[in-house]
Amino acid sequence: MDWLSLFNAVLFAQTIQAVTPILLAALAGVLCDRAGVFNIALEGQMLIGAFAAIAGTWVTGSVAGGAAAALVGTMAFSAILAFGSTWFRGDPIVIGIGLNLLASGLTAFLLRILFGVSGTFTDPTMQDLPRVVLPRIAAVPWFNRVFGSHSVLTWAAWVLVAVIAVFLFRTVWGLRLRGVGERPDAAETLGAGVARTRIAAVLAGGALCGLAGAQLSLGSVTLFAEDMSAGRGWIAVVAVMLGRGHPVGVALACLLFGFADAAGLRLQGRGLPNQLTDMAPYVITLVALVVARGRRRRGAMA
């Protein structure tokens, strides 16, 4: 097997495609984490977004309608965590686990009720997300193969990395959000409104997870399959931890996981068992967690 031939334009294009839903969900996790809410419901929120995007597109006949349904549906679903962890003082970990289980069962139930099928729903008449073509990039064949066929949400995800970084570290509202997460008592004394800020952060994160779900179900395919988030939300949680809540660090962690996912798909075509290649992103996740834990421990000892 020629291993070097794996590193071609197709691999990098697949990496970018695989990164997008993870990155959007991880950015949602960053907002929640900075506000002091550890959101492990990213998996369930992404799944709700994927279903809502397909349902909205099917009902309205418009991709924009599907994206809007994903935003509204996931924000409504996220309200359970937002209000449950603030007004009702629930444990966000427990609520998050419950939401992940609820999302899996609810989407499977609605799939049967709305579409009369189980497992997978697709409609060949539905359109996928629009593609962004940059003329100067398209003029160079190699760059065109890597960057020339991605959805609008792929580009939006990377723009959002910069936007959220500027928001968190260069604006008064971002400073207030971080203050709520780091020193909630002091923030409350200064009138920041801890509960209100956390609710806003979780709902904004829900919107990002809705976009992540829309990318899953409308990005490269137009279908919904039960549990199609397939652990991406959990990987996003790990990316938030590895990136230490900074959008740029989180984006780099997502690139690592996206590369592992894309490389696994490429290796399947080279004859490796799919059970082995499917493990790649999760093995990388475990190794990255161990390495990060070791570095933090050495830093604490120093």
Q: Does residue 238 lie in a domain region?
A: no
Q: Examine the pLDDT at 34 and tell me if it is beyond 60.
A: yes
Do 18 and 154 contact (CB within 8 A), yes or no?
Answer: no
Q: Is 213 contained in some domain? A: yes
What global pTM score does this model have? 0.92
181-199 confidence digits (pLDDT tens): 999 988 888 778 899 999 9
Mean pLDDT, rounded, for 226-252: 94
Question: Is the four-CA dihedral 167, 203, 30, 64 of positive or negative sign?
Answer: negative
Q: What is the pLDDT of residues 152-175, one digit of tens each?
A: 999 999 999 999 999 999 999 999
Q: Please, which residues bridge with residue 223 across strands?
A: 122
95 inside domain:
yes
Structural domain boundaries enclosing 206: 19-128+149-230
Residue 188 lies in a domain: yes
User: Tokens 């093995």 label which residue?
Assistant: 283
Residue 6 lies in a domain: no
| Position 246 pLDDT exceeds 90 | yes
Q: Is residue 137 part of a domain?
A: no
Which range, of 66-70, 87-91, 223-227, 285-289, averages the lowest pLDDT?
285-289
pLDDT of residue 115: 93
Question: Hunting for tokens 């997502």 — which residue is that?
Answer: 254
Q: Which residues of 146-159 are buried (b: 16+ CB within 10 A; e: fewer)?
A: bbbbbbebbbebee
Residue 271 has pLDDT above 80, yes or no: no
Say what the pLDDT of residue 295 is: 66
Listing DSSP states for the chain in one string gives --GGGGSSHHHHHHHHHHHHHHHHHHHHHHHHHHTT-----HHHHHHHHHHHHHHHHHHHS-HHHHHHHHHHHHHHHHHHHHHHTTTS---HHHHHHHHHHHHHHHHHHHHHHHHS-SSEEE-TT---PPB---HHHHTSHHHHHHHTT-BHHHHHHHHHHHHHHHHHHHSHHHHHHHHHHH-HHHHHHTT--HHHHHHHHHHHHHHHHHHHHHHHHHSS--EEETTTTTTHHHHHHHHHHHTTT-HHHHHHHHHHHHHHHHHHHHHHTTT--HHHHHTHHHHHHHHHHHHHHHHHHHHHH-
* Structural domain total, the chain: 1
9 domain-assigned? no
Establish if 42 belongs to a structural domain: yes
